[in-house]
Amino acid sequence: MAVRKVLLLGNESLYKISQQITKDQLKKAREVVRDLHDTMMEFRKKYGFGRAIASPQINEPYRIIYMNFDDNSIAFINPKLEFVGDKIFEIWDDCMSFPGLEVKLKRYEKVKVYYKDLDWNDCVIEFEGDLAELIQHEYDHLDGILAVQRGIDNKSFRVNKDKSGCF
């Protein structure tokens, strides 16, 4: 549909809790997913990274996440996370809402995601490692939480010049 502007760190809309989608809003959800796809592909062309995006990042206050990796794409409507086990790992995380800035944080190694697909079917998928981290990152966006709020400490930030487009 359209490439949308990605909201940047500091925009108050990024800190709001997103709304559930209802079945009668499925047409709107499909439109948002198309915009998320187009926006992420354009971002990927410009910055060279981006595997997932949440609807609040394009100023759509819904519980929608779109992932595109290894020629696979998944739209998550009203996702719910379940942490599998208690194994946690540290990772440097980046975000389309603050390209070039990375945050060291902790995430669960393995998660299950319960969600509706674009045909309103109940689905479940399990992720581990970097994809588990990715879905946790995007899920946080739905709750108005940014990775910068999850930094391990006040020294858990760095600039990645290759991803900033500013340096």
Known catalytic residue: 138?
yes
Q: Exactly one of 60, 102, 133, 138 is catalytic; which is it?
A: 138
Q: Are 100 and 160 in contact (CB under 8 A)?
A: yes
Specify the length of the chain in residues.
167
CB-based contact 130:69 (threshold 8 Å):
no
The residues near 145 (Cβ < 8 Å, ≥ 6 apart) are: none
Check the annotation: does 141 bind a ligand. yes
State yes or no: 137 annotated in a binding site. yes
Neighbours of 55 (CB within 10 A): 26
Instruction: Read off the DSSP letter of residue 106.
Output: E
Amino acid identity of 11?
N
- Alpha helical stretches, state H, the chain: 26-47, 130-142, 161-164
Residue 111 burial (CB < 10 Å; 0-12/13-18/19+)? buried
List residues forming the annotated binding site for Fe cation. 95, 137, 141
Residues classed as catalytic:
138
